[in-house]
Amino acid sequence: MTEAFKLGIVVPCYNEEEVLPETNKELTQIISNLVNENKITNDSKIVFVDDGSSDKTWSMIDEYSKTNDYASGVKLSRNFGHQGALLAGVTSASNSCDAVVTIDADLQDDVNAIPKMVDEFLNGSEVVYGVRNNRQTDTSFKRDTAEGFYKVMGWLGVKLVPDSADFRLMSQRACKVLLSYRETNLFLRGIVPMVGFKSAKVYYARKERFAGTSKYPLRKMLKLAINGITSFSIVPIKMIMQLGFLIVLISIGLLIYTIVQKIHGNVVTGWSSMMISIWALGGVQLICISVIGEYVGKIFNEVKHRPRFTIERDIYTEKTLKEENNEVK
């Protein structure tokens, strides 16, 4: 693609009133610069997605949509989570945009990487990943656990782009393919690489959060990691079967050992060994049941086919239709 195209920048927001003014300012400047360079069209938009915020986030988005030609918004009926909010924004924006960029509102992802993504798109790439070139802003614990997670996912056979979160550009065609995946248990970092098409990477330095507090504490990070593992691999189920065989082999060995000791008259009744065996086997069984339960729970959620998000108001679509009507007139 060589001519200017329409770009949509999707920004999921949950209680982001502290950082939103700066986010709106910086993204507006990025779009304005790209329009001036004739890389994107003047009807390109920022799509803020309010994920059931309890602060002034939506009222601020509504105000920006009135005062900023590039700003618009989508309001979800309640909190559907970060991945659901991203998908809602992509659903709205991909209807009329030639390409969609997704970026978090906290400004930790460098907005100056967006022009580089646009260049890669103009050069023919349909999926452009924003990839961190270092993890200096992370604590050592978060850095080590993140590296461990990517290694585990690779071992499980899940194709991820290391050090790439949800900062990416996707063509309209790639967005449509992404939306055809109907999972309720969303892990977009794992789904997007499955879309295929020509891809590229843009490297950037991740910054400290501009303002406010992180919406992804350790508990949510662990939940996301578990969701990613169980949504894309059945290796844990296979490991349970292998563990079962191992325990059976150990039991056979202990049975032979007990018979030999009985023949030699060396059997000593031991309460401690019996209790250790009971507790060990009981713990293994509970872990196995929990892993199986995680998969059964996912099946339970998937078969209900409930909507992954519900849009209460879509200013982006309203604004787009209004602009199209004005052009017709």
Give the per-residue pLDDT at 148: 65
Q: Using one digit for the tens of pLDDT, what is the confidence trace for 167-194?
A: 999 999 999 998 888 877 777 777 888 7
Low-confidence ranges of the chain (pLDDT < 50): 272
Give the per-residue pLDDT at 9: 94
Beta strands in the chain (DSSP E): 7-13, 45-50, 71-76, 99-102, 127-132, 168-171, 199-204, 311-314
Give the per-residue pLDDT at 299: 73
Report the predicted TM-score, pTM, of the whole model to 2 decimal places: 0.71
Give the per-residue pLDDT at 46: 93
**Bridging pattern class, strands 199-204 and 127-132:** parallel
CA distance 186 to 309: 11
Helix, strand and coil percent figures for the chain, each rounded to 5: 55, 15, 35
In 3-state terms, what secondary structure has residue 324? helix
Task: Please answer whether residues 194 and 102 qualify as being in contact, where contact means their C-beta atoms are separated by less than 8 angstroms.
Answer: no
Those residues with Cβ within 8 angstroms of residue 102's Cβ, 6 or more apart along the chain or in another chain:
9, 10, 11, 12, 86, 89, 90, 166, 167, 168, 170
Task: Please answer whether residues 20 and 61 qualify as being in contact, where contact means their C-beta atoms are separated by less than 8 angstroms.
Answer: yes
Give the per-residue pLDDT at 75: 93
Give the per-residue pLDDT at 192: 83
With CA atoms as reference, report the closest residue to 35 among 64, 9, 11, 4.
Answer: 4
CA distance 128 to 175: 12
CA distance 228 to 145: 14
* 140 φ/ψ sector (left φ>0, alpha ψ -120 to 50, else beta): alpha
Give the per-residue pLDDT at 127: 92
Q: Using one digit for the tens of pLDDT, what is the confidence trace for 230-241?
A: 565 666 766 766
